[in-house]
């Protein structure tokens, strides 16, 4: 939970589920080994493929529930101990089977919040001692448009609840943590054509051929134009613009629906 809090305070939009999965699944795999159990079955909507003796995560049959994005950083030695029995089923089919088996969870509503923050991330951050801090809401040119009580209350791409208005709808473009500023502007200013990725895991990225990259959990994947390594960072050029790039989120790379790598979004790439 500390990386989650720290990420927000540093201007990122963390995804704690991505960080949690490698830890808890490794712990479950270790426990299974202690108990002499060959596999651990989880309820993730994803598929596990075996190629040349190695396990790979692939998209689920139910694309609307696909969770392969959340599993990109689970190492192969842990994947080898897992099973994803829901990967070939739709959510509707799973609910029907649960109802037929008389399970109470068959009609439970789906959770939309982080498991450790059921009241929302803002309340959670405040419960961890993050206090309100007055700052400015500014336009790209620096003009002060309004005030806020903490840059961490906002995320890139947000439109509602800004407390300011303009000639056109305004969106959060950037959170400047050091200055406690929130930068807003028109929707067109949200678009990026490239990004920088760090903490990269490369299983089979190659030079970018036939790659797609997914940049938020529920967003559509974007075709990759090219990859360029710059020290510890990976610079990614996109074939189509992406709107709402948020530092701290995962960039997950797919080839033919199979996860072949990933990393953390550091920010937009410099102009080509």
Residues designated catalytic: 20, 115
| Rounded Cα distance, 200 and 265, in Å | 10
Eight-state DSSP code of residue 190? G
Coil, strand or helix at 183: strand
- The token pair at 251 is 């960039």
* CB within 8 Å of 63: residues ≥ 6 apart: none
| Rounded Cα distance, 5 and 16, in Å | 10
Question: Residue 193 to residues 94, 138, 176, 230: CA-CA distances in angstroms?
Answer: 38, 24, 21, 17
- The token pair at 222 is 């974007």
| Rounded Cα distance, 239 and 132, in Å | 40
Query: Locate tokens 């070939």: which residue?
Result: 88
Query: Locate tokens 């498991």: which residue?
Result: 115
Q: Please, are residues 272 and 263 in contact by the beta-carbon 8 Å criterion?
A: no
């Amino acid at each position: 939970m500390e990386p989650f809090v720290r990420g927000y305070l540093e201007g990122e939009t963390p995804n704690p589920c991505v960080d949690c999965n490698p830890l808890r699944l490794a712990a479950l795999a270790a426990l299974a080994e202690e108990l002499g159990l060959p596999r651990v079955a989880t309820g993730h909507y994803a598929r596990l493929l075996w190629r040349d003796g190695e396990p790979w995560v692939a998209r689920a049959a139910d694309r609307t529930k696909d969770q392969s994005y959340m599993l990109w950083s689970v190492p192969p030695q842990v994947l080898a101990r897992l099973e994803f029995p829901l990967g070939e089923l739709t959510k509707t089919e799973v609910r029907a089977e649960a109802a037929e088996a008389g399970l109470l969870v068959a009609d439970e509503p789906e959770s939309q919040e982080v498991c450790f923050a059921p009241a929302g991330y803002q309340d959670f951050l405040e419960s961890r001692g993050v206090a309100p801090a007055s700052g400015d809401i500014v336009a790209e040119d620096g003009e002060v448009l309004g005030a806020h009580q903490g840059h961490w209350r906002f995320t890139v791409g947000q439109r509602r609840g800004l407390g300011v208005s303009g000639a056109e709808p305004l969106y959060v473009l950037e959170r400047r943590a050091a200055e406690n500023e929130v930068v807003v502007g028109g929707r067109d200013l949200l678009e990026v054509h490239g990004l920088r990725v760090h903490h990269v895991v490369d299983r089979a990225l190659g030079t970018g051929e036939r790659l797609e990259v997914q940049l938020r959990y529920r967003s559509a994947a974007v075709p990759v134009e090219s990859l360029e390594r710059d020290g510890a960072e990976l610079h990614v050029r996109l074939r189509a613009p992406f709107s709402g790039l948020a530092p701290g989120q995962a960039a997950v790379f797919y080839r033919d629906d199979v996860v072949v790598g990933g990393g953390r979004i550091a920010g937009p790439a410099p102009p080509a």
